[in-house]
Amino acid sequence: MSRADALRKQLDGPRDGALLRFSLGSALLEDGDSGQAIVQLHRAVAFDADYSAAWKLLARAQAGSGDTAAAIESYEHGIAAAQRRGDKQAEKEMTVFLRRLVR
């Protein structure tokens, strides 16, 4: 059983939330399923709009799948979330990635 399959079994249960959806999105991305990863990462930020790591991974998945406009928007949301949480490192990283995309 893959990591993604094991995580899918926990969906809609008592542990379902931003962390589970982020973990599943990450596993799907590692498996090369960027479409489903994007779906799960969207769910992660729906559970917690201030989850900067989920925004960062979502933007990376979107950029990797060729959706630059969506990636830019996700990085912007992620930067705002990182600022609200005081996560300076995430803010810096996403700012660099965002600059690369808008060039």
Q: What is the pTM of this model?
A: 0.94
**Residue 68 tokens, joined:** 């630059």
Confidence of residue 103 (pLDDT cuts 50, 70, 90): confident
For 34-93, write each residue's pLDDT tens digit: 999 999 999 999 999 999 999 999 999 999 999 999 999 999 999 999 999 999 999 999
> Which domains does the chain carry?
3-102 (1.25.40.10)
**DSSP assigned state of 11:** T
Q: Is the pLDDT of residue 1 over 90?
A: no
What's the average model confidence in pLDDT over 89-102?
96
